[in-house]
Structure 1
Amino acid sequence: MTHPAFHPEFQAAPYWWDAAPPEDARDAPLPERADIAVIGSGFAGLSAALEAARGGADVVVLDGGPLGGGASSRSGGMVSSGQKLVLTAALADLPAAKQAAALEDSRATFEFLKALVAREGLDADLQLCGRFFGAFTSAHLDTLKRNAETLHARTGVTIRILSRDEQREEVGSAYFHGGFVVEDYGGVHPAKLNQALRGAARTAGARLFSHARVLGTERDGGGHQVTTERGTLRAAHVLFATNGYTDGASPWLRKRVLPVMSYQIATEMLPPGMMDRLIPRRRMVTDSRKELTYTRPSPDGTRILFGCRPRALDAAPERLALALRARMLRIWPELAPIRLTHAWGGFVAMTADRIPHIAEQDGVMHAAGCNGNGVALMTFLGWHAAQLMLGRTNRRAFFADIPFPAVPAPARGPWTVPLASAAYHLRDLAANPGEIMGERLGRPGRDATTPSSKEAQE
């Protein structure tokens, strides 16, 4: 890239892959049979493979591309429990008992991930650093306060509400209009977590195969025939854990998840002391826009990672990188002289009811629907799906005990996501036109208390 905002070594690839790249594992031929065939090598698939192999099953993991090349290693790596179920009111229409079960199991996902990392000794850069939720407008602050109170009451997480002046304890910027901090949340290095799960699954006895795209499955006596581009195998059980990368191999699941692309950028290493001004306590940071912004320090604290869906229409990551950068500079003008080293995208799986699901259809298990909150949830769902397939639990988690509705057919058309994204952009524009237009024009934010670009260079 020749634009001055790009570093000479800029890559249109995830920053995470520098430390833990996807893996080519196609040398060995596929086996003829297995107890369990797991389709997808993300957090859900690998967690399922680990649990099933630990239970003595012969497990095969199949991925259409390199292992760990999907959204699990492309995410922002933020870790929480079930705050989206509360903040999006996804549970509002459920009976009180179901709501309580949902929140109990949502809280359990975060605890499960922490326990898994500790038990297996996973090198995942897990940091329990908390998250700041920033108000995009002054009106949004009132909403965030109500959300914070609801979140505390329903999930028990530790909440601290901040005024606009107090927010500088968390974010060195006048961009937000206050917000709240959840102390109990954290972050991981998602590609390292995926890599570590691959290693743990193999150590437990699972066999992992890349570039083995599944073309379809069909009943075969008491089991299933799994047809791939590299051959066919028989399995007693099959789990689809393909999430936002679900294709025609599972028509049933494809009707139930809507893939939405989200994009991220990574800066070059910041000068000494800059991170102390931008995110003093090294929190995860998100905002209250309809088109959510999510940003964080890299696990080593040297870079800013910044994500959102900056335009209604998808495009190559390097083309959208400048739009992400414009939004980033509205928050931190001090970053103007800092160049970008990486830009990338990944598919998030949305569901009709905004709830993740484990579901069985025609003898095939499915775990999908992270709705942009997948690190802990999908890891938990894979583990629980393996337990259910092996009959190792008498309790079905909430996510496996409710119907999995299809996305209405008109909403599965090619223009659904762009139209929804455009509507979100318009709502953000109506809420705060000055900020949105500033981003469109590529103008840095105005904050007299942060150094100018020239001062930052000096």
Structure 2
Amino acid sequence: MQLSDIRQSPYWHDQIGAPPTLPTGLPKTVDVLIVGAGYTGLSAAITTARGGRSTLVLDAEDPGYGCSTRNGGQISTSVKPSLDKLAAKFGVERARGIRMEGAKALTWIGDFIADEGLDCDFRRVGRFHAAHTPQHYEALVRDAEKMRQRENIESFAVPRHEQRSQLGTDAYFGGVVFSAHCSVHPGKFHRELLRLALGERVQVLGQCRVTRIARTASGFRVQTAKGPVEARDVIVATNGYTTALTPWLQRRVIPIGSYIIATEELPEATIDTLFPGDRIASDTCKVVYYYRASPDRRRVLFGGRVSASETTPLAGAARLRQDMCRIFPELEGVGLSHAWSGTVAYSFDELAHTGVHDGVHYAMGYCGSGVSMAPYLGMRAGQKVLGRREGVTAYDGLPFPTRPLYQGKPWFLPAAVAWYRWNDQRQFRKAIGMS
């Protein structure tokens, strides 16, 4: 197959059909205006609407255009820094609270999907986190044991000679299974959130860019591509698509492109060999790969960072396919059907952030682990707007760091990614030579 034959749109979009008809008119006033119609924004909107507030959600593109329908559909506990690293910065009690928010988000999304009866292929399949060197395997096992003892995070180690019971490859040196991690169809999940929001009389408008947010005596005057709106409260939920509309936030999130490919349909036996337990998978490389079988177990979906600087989905597809075939030689010669990318938002401290700045509520900076954290913190932001105590999280009041001279364009990223990729490859080559 020629690269030009690959569809440059998310595989997930093929599964959800035409979007519902949305209103085109803009109200003059609302109680709550939310910027961004992804997981965060729609979850916040559902919460405020159910709390009796008239709610409007605006998006510069179509609702769900961004990473909410472009991610890999993998759900973890979402918090990257370890308990020890967080304790060194914030003290043990606050560190435990931050780590617990990840566990709460994971529990919340499962309960929410079940309670609301959402049709989104949600499954608690567990994650196989693979070690790309023997040293990384030893560190993984030690860290997993700490998390079991101190945070009650369920896991078990899988040495290299048992690896194929979890993942059909010999490319790694064992790994750890995190049993509570989950998978979901991200496109269906977003569509179900949109359905819930519309059912609660939330007004959702796409192709309506917000160009200015100004304080007034009674709240905010929000200028949009379709005219002004007066709002009592505003929530910014733009994550990896944060712009100069909110310069304070733009200086605190780092937009990073992530790229994914989908194979053509494969024989059932091939998927059963590669993903015998239907685990989602990731690895210990600094430039991480993440992959899984599609919900219908007919394709492999393989994602990661493909180059030092941003590139096109087709250019990324060639690199991803090479690495996919290194891990799964059985896929050599298999064609690709889709290639796409999305933009995630990292923060300088690798933590999600939520709070209020200059009167505007926000939640963002999910660091590539936002499938559960984004709707969870969106819900909490909605509760804050409603004045409910349960809206307060361990993230509230944390410093939201930036760096001198940083204005939202990550000029430093190409050099950092190039270094990390070189070091990952060096470590792997050394490990292969020793094995």
Shorter-chain TM-score range = over 0.9
Return the alpha-carbon distance in structure 1 between the equivalents of residues 261 and 276 of structure 2.
20
For 1:307-326, what aligned pairs fall within 5 Å after superposition? Answer: 307-326=303-322
- Tell me the residue number matched to 2:211: 215
Return the alpha-carbon distance in structure 2 between the equivalents of residues 118 and 131 of structure 1.
21
1:275 aligns with 2:271: yes
Return the alpha-carbon distance in structure 2 between the equivalents of residues 372 and 39 of structure 1.
20
Given that 1:215 and 1:248 are in contact with CA atoms closer than 8 Å, whether structure 2 keeps it comes out as no
State the secondary structure of the residue aligned to 1:282: coil
Return the alpha-carbon distance in structure 2 between the equivalents of residues 324 and 91 of structure 1.
37
Given that 1:87 and 1:147 are in contact with CA atoms closer than 8 Å, whether structure 2 keeps it comes out as no
Amino acid at match of 2:15: A
TM-aligned CA distance change 1:435 to 1:161, over 3 Å? closer
Amino acid at match of 1:335: L
TM-aligned CA distance change 1:83 to 1:356, over 3 Å? closer
Amino acid at match of 2:122: L
Please, which of 329, 334, 337 is the counterpart of residue 333 of structure 1? 329
TM-aligned CA distance change 1:213 to 1:410, over 3 Å? closer
- Consecutive unaligned residues of structure 1, counting only runs of 5 or more, are 437-458
For 1:243-262, what aligned pairs fall within 5 Å after superposition? Answer: 243-262=239-258
Measure how far apart 1:56 and its partner are: 0.8
- Tell me the residue number matched to 2:2: 2
- Consecutive unaligned residues of structure 2, counting only runs of 5 or more, are none
Amino acid at match of 1:170: Q
Amino acid at match of 2:318: L
Please, which of 276, 281, 289 is the counterpart of residue 285 of structure 2? 289
State which drifts further: 85-94 or 209-218: 85-94
Amino acid at match of 1:61: V
State which drifts further: 395-404 or 121-130: 395-404
Amino acid at match of 2:273: R
Q: Can you list the C-alpha shifts for 1:307-362, whole angstroms capped at 9, x where unaligned?
A: 01121121110111010000000011101121100011111100111111112111
Measure how far apart 1:17 and its partner are: 0.7
Measure how far apart 1:430 and its partner are: 2.2
- Tell me the residue number matched to 1:450: none
Given that 1:244 and 1:258 are in contact with CA atoms closer than 8 Å, whether structure 2 keeps it comes out as yes
Measure how far apart 1:260 and its partner are: 0.5
Given that 2:125 and 2:179 are in contact with CA atoms closer than 8 Å, whether structure 1 keeps it comes out as yes
TM-aligned CA distance change 1:198 to 1:385, over 3 Å? same
TM-aligned CA distance change 1:268 to 1:259, over 3 Å? same
- Tell me the residue number matched to 1:160: 156
For 1:68-217, what aligned pairs fall within 5 Å after superposition? Answer: 68-86=64-82, 89=85, 92-217=88-213
Please, which of 278, 287, 296 is the counterpart of residue 300 of structure 1? 296
Measure how far apart 1:98 and its partner are: 0.4
TM-aligned CA distance change 1:411 to 1:391, over 3 Å? closer
Q: Can you list the C-alpha shifts for 1:244-285, whole angstroms capped at 9, x where unaligned?
A: 000111111101101000100000111131111111001000
Return the alpha-carbon distance in structure 2 between the equivalents of residues 185 and 392 of structure 1.
29
Return the alpha-carbon distance in structure 2 between the equivalents of residues 300 and 291 of structure 1.
28
State the secondary structure of the residue aligned to 2:340: strand
TM-aligned CA distance change 1:410 to 1:28, over 3 Å? closer
TM-aligned CA distance change 1:100 to 1:295, over 3 Å? same
Return the alpha-carbon distance in structure 2 between the equivalents of residues 318 and 134 of structure 1.
27
For 1:383-394, what aligned pairs fall within 5 Å after superposition? Answer: 383-393=379-389
Given that 2:133 and 2:431 are in contact with CA atoms closer than 8 Å, whether structure 1 keeps it comes out as no
Identical columns (%): 36
Given that 2:83 and 2:99 are in contact with CA atoms closer than 8 Å, whether structure 1 keeps it comes out as no
Return the alpha-carbon distance in structure 2 between the equivalents of residues 265 and 90 of structure 1.
34
State which drifts further: 399-408 or 87-96: 87-96
TM-aligned CA distance change 1:143 to 1:21, over 3 Å? farther
State which drifts further: 194-203 or 409-418: 409-418
State the secondary structure of the residue aligned to 1:160: strand
State the secondary structure of the residue aligned to 1:235: strand
**Count of residues paired in the alignment:** 433
Return the alpha-carbon distance in structure 2 between the equivalents of residues 21 and 292 of structure 1.
31
- Tell me the residue number matched to 2:47: 51
RMSD: 2.0
State the secondary structure of the residue aligned to 2:222: strand
